[in-house]
A and B are shown apart, each in its own frame.
Chain A
Amino acid sequence: MLEATALSKSYNGTIALHPLDLRIEPGEIFCLLGANGAGKTTTINLFLNFIPPTSGTAKIGGLDVVQQPLESKRLLAYIPEQVMLYKNLTGIENLEYFTSLAGGSHTKTELMGFLEGAGLARTDADKRVGAYSKGMRQKVGIAIAIAKKARALLLDEPTSGLDPKASNEFSELLKKLSGAGAAILMATHDLFRAKETGTRVGIMKHGHLVAQYSTSELGHADLERIYLEHMHD
């Protein structure tokens, strides 16, 4: 579903991402680990077509994101570290707005259903987003993904700064979405979450994807040890 082929990015000669080959199938949750500046966000931005690749291609559902930016985004949902919504609108209005951009039109009940599916309390849905906590905003982000029936999810450190309970709820939602057939790419620093939620983990360093493991092969302790080994220069 998500596919990078020799995908690379450099800024004025500085290489942010060395040629990357990656395939994430429906139902997979691929967790990208690595220090800040390792190229995780660059990879996600390339899939979003927010930055043009220096070489290679990024495809979503077989669609090249540069050639077919709008079509590929129909399949896609994006949850950044901070889901920033329009502060002056309520949660449900924000959801309605973003889903309408995707060309969907839903009744109020349906929208409320999506928000509930994402774990947002009914009473909160009609409050202005300005008063939302980060966890609540992430839930609206998930609701957008649900409403859109996204087949691919790009998550950029979505759980950093969430309390453990919220983080756990979030992981459960991801599992539900992937169970429904979505391919998920998540950049994270949370080794525990990666092991718990992910089906595969990849470790990035200086723009290289240096290692990939299936989480079923690893214990928690193993993952941390391997990660730290890679981080040594």
Chain B
Amino acid sequence: MRYDWRNLSADRAPLAVAVVLGAAIAYGAFNGSEWIRFQNRAISEALAEERERFDRIRDEIPRIESGEKTVTVFADPRQPQSFGRNMGTRYAVMPPAALGALAIGQSDLYPYYFRVSTNSKQTFLNNDEVENPVHLLAGRFDLAFVLLYLYPLVILAFSYNLVSSEKESGTLALTLSQPVSLRRVVMAKVLLRAAFVAALAVLLSAAGVIIGGANLAAEGAWPRLLLWAAVTAVYGAFWFALAIAVNALGRGSATNAMTLAGAWLLFVIVIPSVLNVTIKAVYPVPSRVELIQAIRVAGDESTREGSKLLARYLEDHPELAPPSKGPAGPPDFGTLLVAVNEATERKVQPVLAEFDAQLANQQSMADRLRYLSPAIVAQSAFNDLAGSSAHRYKHFLAGVDEYHRQWRGFFVPRILKKEKLNAGDLARLPSFTFREEPTAAVTGRAGVAFVGLLIAALLAGIPAVMALRRYPVAG
């Protein structure tokens, strides 16, 4: 092994590879951290805007109350319908995860903050497709991209001619005339290369984490980072195993290189894209145009039915009915809107449900079929660990949904009772804090991916090592 290293190092190849891979990883980490910085900036700008708005309102309320300032009904922050719908809306924000810089994944497709109002959810929620075909094919140039695409190539470049080159140069015969088995020789060579490549990948990932400014103090950051390294290692092991398997067939170096390049293309490019197309064909998502159309139609209908809806709404929620002492005048705008929103939401529900169901179907099919390619399994693990997976996004949406309910729960009764807000109410507003997914859930999913990759590596490696026994040394 020591000599093999000397042999390798005399070649300059490892150095060149280390430089290229290092540069790619550094660039990937830099890209990731740029994205995180961008997200953080957007979030802090949003929050600053909210703070400013609230400062202004807090300042305005006493002045309006004292009659120092007069405003129209719509511009009056004390009106719950104006405040809850527009003036006082607050942001629900999902901050980047601790290791977010490592894998951008599809996080650039998902909104990471919403401005939650009393309006129906569709007005601020973007129901996007979970799987974007472009992004399963080629994502951003982040660390996960380097590890998924380039790292296997580096491994293959190191090992495609592991045995065949020794056979071609004639050193294999001399080696095997010594009391060693081919398996031991191959194992030593693989371990050396694996140690080199994996050390490179793990160390540079660690460097990437530091460059990317990951928050290692965050809860669950260390288990995630360790799993990240483990998934990287076992994904690499799969490619090494594949290289041994191809070498064990006893063909020449050129054939090996072609075969392995084909395998790379198949696992990293072809299967993911075919899978994507297949899933889309099996579970087509209703077009977004249809969805938007349905929301509009429902909105129009509800608005037309306005007062009828209000009556029905109040029948359903008698506790919210305004005190019926005075003469029942025409319902005001805010009250109507509550009912209209409610009805719209109810009407849109089936279309949305179909949308969600198809997305869920797609996701579960993708989850099952991802084992066709280790690249997809590794990708899903990387995204999970970096917090850019669909799972974390769904978790965020659920939180936003809950917050939206709280927000309405706070405003709707006040709108219907026509209670004005006062300065004290500002402090009682519901607020949103993103709770990170439980670490166990994330590590559980990544752990399953790890086991899947391990099985793939063993499936390729065990027959390969068996086949080495019958390797045609001569003839």
Contacts and interface: CB of A to CB of B under 8 A. Distances in A.
Interface of A: 11, 41, 45, 48, 50-51, 69-71, 73-74, 76-78, 80, 82-89, 93, 96-98, 100-103, 141, 144, 154
B171 interface: yes
Given A84-B171, A86-B3, A93-B3, A98 B178 contact: yes
B474 A102 contact: no
A141 B179 CA distance: 16
A83 B7 contact: no
Interface of B: 3, 6-7, 10-11, 169-171, 173-181, 472-475
Contact of A70 (B171, B174, B180, B473): B180
Contacts, number: 75
Contact of B169 (A73, A84, A89, A103): A84
Given A73-B179, A78-B177, A93-B6, A84 B170 contact: yes
A70 B181 CA distance: 7
Given A50-B473, A70-B180, A73-B178, A78 B173 contact: yes
B177 A86 contact: no
Nearest to A47: B177
Given A84-B170, A86-B3, A102 B178 contact: yes
Most buried by A among B171, B473, B474, B475: B474
Given A93-B3, A102-B178, A88 B11 contact: yes
Most buried by B among A51, A82, A84: A84
B177 A45 contact: no
A51 B179 contact: no
B2 to A, nearest CB: 8
A51 B475 contact: yes
Contact of A80 (B174, B181, B472): B174
A51 B7 contact: no
Given A88-B10, A101-B179, A83 B174 contact: yes
A51 B3 contact: no
A48 B175 CA distance: 11
A78 B176 CA distance: 10
Most buried by A among B171, B178, B179, B472: B178
B3 A70 contact: no
Contacts of B181: 69-70
Most buried by A among B11, B177, B475: B177
B178 A86 contact: no
Given A88-B6, A88-B7, A101-B179, A51 B474 contact: yes
A71 B180 CA distance: 9
A84 B174 contact: yes
A85 B179 contact: no
A92 to B, nearest CB: 12
Contacts of B474: 41, 45, 48, 50-51
B174 A85 contact: yes
Contacts of B171: 84-86
Given A88-B7, A88-B11, A102 B179 contact: yes
* Nearest 7 Cβ contacts at the A-B interface: A84-B170, A88-B10, A78-B177, A101-B178, A50-B474, A50-B473, A97-B3
